[in-house]
Amino acid sequence: MPGLLLRNGRLWRTGAADVLVRDGVLVEIGRGLDPGDAEVLDLGGRLVLPGLVEAHCHLDKTLFGGPWRPHSAGPALADRIADERVRRAELGLPDPAHVTALLETMAVAGTTHVRTHTDVCTGTGLTGVEVVRDVAARLAGRITVEQVAFPQSGILTDPGTAGLLERAIGLGVTAVGGIDPAGLDRDPVRHLDVVFGLAARHGVRIDLHLHDPGSLGVFELELIIERTRATGLAGRVTVSHAYALAQADAATQDRLAAGLADAGITITTAAIFDFPVPPLKRLREAGVTVACGHDDIRDLWSPFGSGDLLERAMHLAYRSTFRRDEDIELALEAVTFGGARTLGLDGYGLVEGTSADLVVVDAETPAHAVVTRPPRDLVLKAGRVVHRGTVLRGRGSSRPRPPGTAAP
Amino acid sequence: MPGLLLRNGRLWRTGAADVLVRDGVLVEIGRGLDPGDAEVLDLGGRLVLPGLVEAHCHLDKTLFGGPWRPHSAGPALADRIADERVRRAELGLPDPAHVTALLETMAVAGTTHVRTHTDVCTGTGLTGVEVVRDVAARLAGRITVEQVAFPQSGILTDPGTAGLLERAIGLGVTAVGGIDPAGLDRDPVRHLDVVFGLAARHGVRIDLHLHDPGSLGVFELELIIERTRATGLAGRVTVSHAYALAQADAATQDRLAAGLADAGITITTAAIFDFPVPPLKRLREAGVTVACGHDDIRDLWSPFGSGDLLERAMHLAYRSTFRRDEDIELALEAVTFGGARTLGLDGYGLVEGTSADLVVVDAETPAHAVVTRPPRDLVLKAGRVVHRGTVLRGRGSSRPRPPGTAAP
How far apart are the CA of B340 and the nearest CA of chain A, in angstroms?
Answer: 21
From B151, B157, B114, select the one nearest B135 (Cα to Cα): B114
Residues A9, A36, single domain; the answer is yes
Mutual angle of helices A127-138 and A96-108, in 10-degree steps: 40
In the Cβ-directed half-sphere of A247, how many Cα atoms lie within 13 Å? 18
Residues B57-98: pLDDT tens digits? 999 999 999 999 999 999 998 899 899 989 999 999 999 999
Closest in B274, B307, B391 to A321, CB measured: B274
User: Among all residues of chain A, which has the CA nearest to that of B301?
Assistant: A323
CA distance B290 to B344: 13
Chain B residues near residue A308 by CB distance under 8 angstroms: 403-404
Q: Which domain holds residue A27?
A: 4-51+349-393
Q: Same structural domain for residues A159 and A30?
A: no
* The dihedral formed by the CA atoms of B381, B385, B386 and B389, expressed in degrees to the nearest 10: 130
Indicate yes or no: CB of A323 within 8 angstroms of CB of B71: yes
Distance from C-alpha of A81 to C-alpha of A99, rounded to nearest angstrom: 21
- Strands A111-119, A144-150: pairing is parallel
The string of DSSP letters for A111-123 reads EEEEEEEEE-BTT
Chain A interface mutation, best of B323, B329, B377, B385, highest count of A Cβ atoms under 10 Å? B323
Is residue A82 in some structural domain? yes
Q: C-alpha angle B213/B216/B219, rounded to 5°?
A: 125
Distance CA A156, CA A190 (A): 8
Distance CA B115, CA B55 (A): 5
- Confidence (pLDDT) at B172: 93
Q: Residues B22, B68: one domain? A: no
CATH at residue B380: 2.30.40.10
- Where does a domain end: B312, B339, B366? B339
Asked if B265 and B365 sit in the same domain, the reply is: no
With contacts defined as CB-CB under 8 Å, which chain B residues touch A318? 272-274, 304
What CATH number has the domain bearing residue A321? 3.20.20.140
A364 and B68 in contact by Cβ < 8 A? Answer: yes
Q: Residue A404's pLDDT is what?
A: 52
- Does A73 sit within 8 Å of B323, measured CB to CB? yes
C-alpha to C-alpha distance for B243 and A216, rounded to whole angstroms:
28
Please report, for residues A4, A43, B227, B386, the alpha-carbon distance to residue A30 in angstroms, rounded to integers and kept in the order given: 14, 14, 68, 47
Residue B405, domain member (yes or no): no
pLDDT tens per residue, range B389-401: 987 875 333 444 4
Backbone angles phi, psi at A109, to 5 degrees: -85, 5
- Look up the pTM and report it: 0.96
Q: What is the CA radius of gyration of chain A?
A: 21
Number of folded domains in chain A?
2
Residue type, A171: L
Domain membership of residue B389 (yes or no) is: yes
Q: Phi then psi for B145, rounded to 5 degrees?
A: -115, 130
**Of the candidates B309, B339, B369, which is a domain's last residue?**
B339
Q: Which residues of chain A neighbour B79 with C-beta distances below 8 Å?
A: none
| DSSP states along A182-224 | TTTTS-HHHHHHHHHHHHHHHT-EEEEEE---HHHHHHHHHHH
Query: Are A268 and A375 contained in the same domain?
Result: no
Q: Write the DSSP symbol of residue A402.
A: P
Verify cis geometry, omega within 30 degrees of 0, for the bond prior to B94. yes
Q: Which residues contact A222 (CB under 8 A, 6 or more apart)?
A: A256, A259
Residues of A in contact with B391 (CB under 8 A): 406
CA atoms within 13 A on the CB side of A358: 29
Mutate to test the interface with B, among A47, A68, A102 (most CBs of B within 10 A): A68
Count CA atoms within 13 Å of residue B390 on its CB side.
Answer: 17
Considering the domain architecture, whether residues B257 and B360 belong to the same structural domain is answered as: no
Residues 6+ apart with CB under 8 A from A255: none
Backbone angles phi, psi at B314, to 5 degrees: -60, -50
Q: Cβ atoms within 10 A of the Cβ of A170, count?
A: 10
B316, B354: one domain: no
* Residue at A257 is within a domain: yes
Looking at the complex, report in whole angstroms how far the Cα of residue B196 sits from the nearest Cα belonging to chain A: 33
Closest Cα to residue A318, out of A268, A373, A362, A248? A373
Residues B246 and B387 both lie in one domain: no
pLDDT, one tens digit for every residue, chain B (408 residues):
689 999 999 999 999 999 999 999 999 999 999 999 999 999 999 999 999 999 999 999 999 999 999 999 999 988 998 999 899 999 999 999 999 999 999 999 999 999 999 999 999 999 999 999 999 999 999 999 999 999 999 999 999 999 999 999 999 999 999 999 999 999 999 999 999 999 999 999 999 999 999 999 999 999 999 999 999 999 999 999 999 999 999 999 999 999 999 999 999 999 999 999 999 999 999 999 999 999 999 999 999 999 999 999 999 999 999 999 999 999 999 999 999 999 999 999 999 999 999 999 999 999 999 999 999 999 999 999 999 998 787 533 344 444 554 433
CA angle B44, B48, B52 (to 5 degrees): 145
A130 φ, ψ to 5°?
-70, -45
Among A343, A363, A381, the domain boundary falls at: A343
Q: A335: closest CA among A106, A10, A26, A111?
A: A111
Distance CA B313, CA B291 (A): 10
DSSP string, B251-279: HHHHHHHHHHHHHTEEEEE---TT-----
| Same domain for A271 and A379 | no
The pLDDT, as a whole number, for residue A396 is 37
DSSP secondary structure code for residue A335 in this structure = I
> What is the rounded distance in angstroms from the CA atom of residue A201 to the CA atom of residue A178?
16
A305, A315: one domain: yes
Same domain membership, residue A259 and residue A379:
no
What is the DSSP annotation of B192-205?
HHHHHHHHHHHT-E
Best of A84, A304, A312, A326 to disrupt the B interface by mutation (most B CBs within 10 Å)?
A304
Task: Kindly state whether residue A404 falls inside one of the protein's structural domains.
Answer: no
pLDDT tens per residue, range A20-47: 999 999 999 999 999 999 999 999 999 9
What value does the mean pLDDT take over residues A235-261? 98
Confidence of residue A399 (pLDDT cuts 50, 70, 90): very low
pLDDT in tens, A300-351: 999 999 999 999 999 999 999 999 999 999 999 999 999 999 999 999 999 9
Q: How many CB atoms are closer than 10 A to CB A341? A: 20
pLDDT value of position A31: 95
Whether residue A181 lies inside any domain: the answer is yes
Residue A408 lies in a domain: no
Residues B115 and B261 in one domain: yes
Has residue A356 been placed in a domain?
yes
Q: What CA–CA distance (Å, rounded) separates B109 from B116?
A: 17
Average pLDDT, chain A: 95
The mean pLDDT value for A252-258 works out to 98
Task: Show residues of chain B in contact with A386, CB under 8 Å.
Answer: none
Count of CB atoms situated within 10 Å of the CB of B59: 28
